[in-house]
Amino acid sequence: MRLPQVTLDTTLKELYGNSVHGPEGRIALVQSVACTELALSSKVRRNSKYLYVESKFCSTPLKCSREERAEIQRTVAIQFLALVPQRDAFCAGNMPIIIFDPDGSGKETAHGKVEAKKTMSNLTADQRSKILYFAGPKDISMEANGIDSLVARLALDDLEGYPLVMDLDTSYFLNSKLALSESGLPSPKSVSLELKDFSPAPTECCAVCMSRNGEVVIPDDCTGVRGRWLKNRIRDILDNISAQPIPFVLKNQQTFGGGGTFKVSSRKDVADLKALLSTRILPKLLSGVGPSNAHLKPATLILSEMVQNPICDWGLTFFVRRSGQCVYLSATQQILDPTNAWIGSNISYPAQDKLRQKFTPIMLEIGAWLHSYGYFGPCGADILEEAQGDHMPTTMKIVDLNVRTSGSLTLGLLKGHFSEQRGLHHATCFSISVNMPRESFIETFKADFTDGRIVIIGWYDDVSSGTSYGYLVVGATDEDDLGRRVAGVKKLASIMHF
């Protein structure tokens, strides 16, 4: 089936402009998602230095069979190494994008290339990314592919040693909740719970720890100083949380997509949070702090005031040029699930001119702060608009910064395709899992695809399981029409986080 080709309003290549041939030389983007809980493949190791909390997406059970763990690993690897990088490659333009093989053996490479080629074929030829496949970060060949420097979406441990546009420590810091809380940018008042030390090494503990050196978590049956250290630190954190006035919001230092963010409005919420922290999150997080990463403060928790009268949850996307100039891309309304995890965004194209005026002041504030650290590139800001009373102007509170490509970035680049060419003035983006291959899904919604109402910006058919994972943008004439079309997709597919 021949589908209409998409021409984006602009691309990351165009936004980087001369920066892609600046002092850093020829830049390639590494768009894979880092994972702390498990290795994504034999060649993409678990992050042990740059820690992230992915509790919403790959929370492996504390005890599971080898088969169950392998299935979790495969599903997460497809999402983190194939689906998200494809989505970001869609808006990159004609520049190199590095993607890693979901199984690390090379067996999936040919299939991954076919999937990415199908997705990129939705774009006009001059806007298609040059996708480079490698088994893992250690296999990246720079000189052979004409690459001088890398831009990392998230800090991958194994990118250390490569020439990077921004060093991993600074990138990790700029995306942290602690950086936002101390930035001076308009955000909810907060306090931080910082870990003052870290546990001794397994070789300095008991026989249990020495025999299980290398495990992610300090063993439950540890009989030495490490087990006592972990119990004491968890107790101290939980005591601080119990003393926090309700309501409040707790955030882990490094999260994405809403994972690791918890709204607390009642004593029951406090009890539920403490149970989750003590059994699922803190044992792994605190066990992961050591001499190599203590300076990054990866186990810091942020306790912030809850915005009391939010009237809209906005996602602002823009681009910071090397000069510090900020380029507005879009303001979208974010869609969150009941657990506060991001599952998509909605955009109104006719509203963008007014929204540009509304968000320019706060965009310039964020941009100036990022520029002071030498950052240039895409940025997403989660902003709550808060009512202040009758006849009083609303205020804006930044609740998260994504100093990287954000999930809603592509929405702001499709105004020409949807609104100007087709009269589709509203659009939404979201990811799905569905038990049918790409071609069958397209055939099911044939009219929407041939009319250009649905655009696939990421897709991966997992042949072994029969499940496909996709990232879609759907356009519609108005909000009601958009709701009906999304409901039609939901009848066949499940909405995923990301």
Q: Which residues of 57-82 are buried (b: 16+ CB within 10 A; e: fewer)?
A: bbbbeeeeeeeeeeebbbbbbbbbbb
Q: Which of 261, 257, 251 is nearest to 431 (CA)?
A: 257
3-state secondary structure of 109: helix
- pLDDT, residue 255, reads 78
CA atoms of 233 and 277, how far apart (whole Å)? 12
pLDDT tier, 142 (very low <50, low <70, confident <90, very high otherwise): very high
User: What value does the mean pLDDT of the chain take?
Assistant: 92
Q: Which amino acid is at 393?
A: P
pTM beyond 0.75: yes
176-224 pLDDT, tens digit per residue, is 999 999 999 999 999 999 999 999 999 999 999 999 988 889 999 999 9
CA atoms of 95 and 334, how far apart (whole Å)? 29
- How does DSSP classify residue 6? B
3-state secondary structure of 75: helix
CA atoms of 204 and 210, how far apart (whole Å)? 8
CB 377 within 8 A of CB 16: yes
- pLDDT, residue 338, reads 67
Q: Which amino acid is at 303?
A: L
216-237 pLDDT, tens digit per residue, is 899 999 999 999 999 999 999 9
- pLDDT, residue 53, reads 85
- pLDDT, residue 280, reads 86
Question: Which position has the higher pLDDT, 57 or 276?
Answer: 276
- pLDDT, residue 334, reads 86
Position 58 pLDDT exceeds 80: no
Question: Which position has the higher pLDDT, 72 or 340?
Answer: 72
The residue written with tokens 């996602």 in the block is: 315
> Please, where are the H alpha helices in 186-309?
207-211, 225-242, 267-276, 282-287
CA atoms of 326 and 376, how far apart (whole Å)? 9
The residue written with tokens 């493949």 in the block is: 41
